[in-house]
Amino acid sequence: MSEISYYTKEGLQKLKDELHELKTKGRADISKQIAEARDKGDLSENAEYDAAKDAQGHLEARIAMLEQTVGNAREIDESTIDTSKVSILSKVKIKNLKMGATVTYTLVAEEEADIKAGKISVKSPIGKGLLGKKPGEKAEIETPGGVITFEILEIGM
């Protein structure tokens, strides 16, 4: 049984759009490639055919993964989010107590994470460490670079 994941309306729509694109245009493109490769003769020594079949396998695997993800996805009603503690979709301003640097992250589902946009996954080490914390609390988080202590400065939407 798969795990339920929570998404913003936009994030869930993006997944559904990708799934639709792969099922329609993606499958049609692969079928065309296979047909073109098949027309070139002997399939036992046809590298183009093998590559097209391999690409088809990858495409179908991605479609299956997206179908499962979308099937287990739940859209978050932003109006019901409690901003007194860190949760998914919280915009959290934190301070690295060792370095003195302050950063703001929005906690999102794994598939929506984009560090350049300031969105980190709730499943990342920092995301997990911040969940449930309140302003003023400290979070000691085990990262690949060692333990980092953050102070939660603000929580918003």
Q: What is the pLDDT of residue 75?
A: 84
pLDDT grade, residue 1 (50/70/90)?
very low
Residue 101: pLDDT over 80? yes
pLDDT in tens, 103-156: 999 998 888 888 899 999 988 999 999 999 999 999 999 888 889 999 999 998
Best mean pLDDT range from 2-6, 43-47, 98-102: 98-102
3-state secondary structure of 150: strand
CATH for 5-75 (1.20.1740.10, 3.20.20.70, 1.10.287.180, 3.40.50.80): 1.10.287.180
pLDDT grade, residue 34 (50/70/90)?
confident
Structural tokens at position 121: 């996954």
CB atoms near residue 40 (< 10 Å) = 11
- Could you say which DSSP state residue 40 is in? T
Residue 2: pLDDT over 70? no
Structural tokens at position 135: 């302003």
Residue length of the chain = 157
Contact 88, 77 (CB under 8 A): no
Structural tokens at position 13: 């729509």
Q: Where are the domains of the chain?
A: 5-75, 79-156
Question: What CATH class is the domain 79-156?
Answer: alpha beta
Q: What is the pLDDT of residue 27?
A: 94
If DSSP states are collapsed to H, E and C, what string results for 72-92? CEEECCHHHCCCCCCCCCCEE
Structural tokens at position 2: 């798969």
Contact 91, 108 (CB under 8 A): no
3-state secondary structure of 136: coil
Residue 96: pLDDT over 50? yes
